[in-house]
Structure 1
Amino acid sequence: MTYQDAQSGQQFSAEGIELSTGAIREGSAIPLKLSAFFGSNQPVMRARTELQGALRFDNQLKRYQFEDMRLSGEASGEPLQGKTLSFSAQGQLLVDLAAQIAEWNSLKFTANQLRGLGELKARDLDSEPKLSGALTVAQFNLREFLQSAGQELPAMADGNALGKAELVSRLSGTQNSLALEELTLKLDDSTFTGQIAVSDFARQALRVNLKGDRLDLDRYLPPPAKDEAAGAARKSEVKSTQPAPLAAAPRRCRAARPSRPGAMPPCCRWTACARSTPRSASPSAA
């Protein structure tokens, strides 16, 4: 099955479609399993997907549920630069057309190393749909995740930069906007709180209002050039091989000049007295 947009030249395809269900009865849970290969040409992408769960519907109430929904698959193509992205999502889906609401509860999702959970709710489906919900992403290695998705990072002074990231936020949005509110974002040793929003998708209007406790930008800057690093190493080597300064020679004490002619200097008087004093005779043995 192929769909082609003649104006834009985009083409979408679905191949190898396999669908199996249990007995279809209104109001009862209907086991369902669907697998297929999807592709596109702008950009060139290909994905293998599998969907399974239990479908339940009530036409009179216009209420439709997809219980224990599980979606999994792998994607590859030009945006991933030859890498493969493994993804999965699960939860409980509900669409109530009478109330004009849709919900995705007990949401869990993965994308390679990334793990998250949350809930999504949409209302006013027949007019201007509005989105709300919550999102939590457990701590993961952002550097490894981006590289596994084909996104090469520039060299940084700290090779461990972008090693830790996690996120907790509320969600709100419309057809043209999306906002992460009450956001807590942890990146390496920094913590930021505030809001990140795209107020208009068409104009790519991005608004960021964050407050952080600390940020060491030097870690994320390019490493020093090889010439600078070699010069610093040579300077350190030369400094370490310089001879240590010689110790100062001890100062010789000079005798003070006598206060009157013929008098001995003070430092010599004791010696002179010792020489001029006769030794007392030792008593003879009895």
Structure 2
Amino acid sequence: MALMFASYEQDFDASTQGIYSNSAIPRLATPSERSWLSHGSQLPGSSVSRLKHLIWYQPSGSDQPSAIGAVWSDDTHLHWATPLQRRLEGIFNPLPFMLRFPAAQYDWSRFRAALGWFDSMCYAATDPEQVRSACEREPEWGLRCFPYAGSRRGADLAALLCPAPDWDEVSIDAIHVAVLASVAKLVRQHGALQGTCLQPVHDGTVEIGQLDVAGAYRVRLLVHSNANRASTTTLAQWANEFLRENGIPGDRLLLVLPHLSLAEPLYPAQHVAIVDLDFGVLARALVALSLP
């Protein structure tokens, strides 16, 4: 089946002033850093002529490709960038990919491998056209490159590459899977979480997992999509009631509210943390709740 990319190329604006180069994306730490196009190295003034190609990815078993990045060149170097490759202290965050492609969440390992291959192609290339040809020669990676045609219907480049999640299209089950995958990555690789063990919970409630901390206590992981507008006091009361009715002495609680946008975790009560879907905020809350 031929990939239908051409029509997508008509939607974007070349007025964006900043873009992360791939080698300069160290982490996903705060809501401001989610807007990857507002940080990092500046594109040259002639951004239309310099921003040569958009990168598209098509998950395996899917006919719905999506633009995920850009590749361009200046006078001396070739650069590429994607908002879907985020790291925290070297730990790859699967959550941006899983929310961008909710129907292909388990394809994120292939996606990560595809980005590794793409990076090697860019390292060896001197022009975006060479990268485009490499993608055509090895279509099994699911990556394609197409020339950037500029704006046609008013959407800018940030809206293309960093669309806000359509929560009506992302099921709560998909969010559960994405959050668990992110916590699992942190538990395996974050130095401050060594000795913890994640146990998924599949009981149809808001609880999605339990983090055993060296056999001493548990951190209960909850995703509550209907509590985003509640006050901090109300959430603290709800969390304490949950632990009183469903927990044992010493239990702690991490409440994930997907619609929030936080710079740091909220701590409305002792041993209770509230976070959004930011990888850095999630990590800091897990570390804090895992301390004695």
Q: TM bucket by the smaller chain?
A: under 0.3
TM-score by length of 2: 0.27
When you count strand as a share of all residues, which structure comes out higher?
A: 1
Higher RCO (CA-CA < 8 Å; seq separation 6+)? 2
Q: Which has the higher helix share?
A: 2
**Structure 1 length as normaliser, TM-score?**
0.27
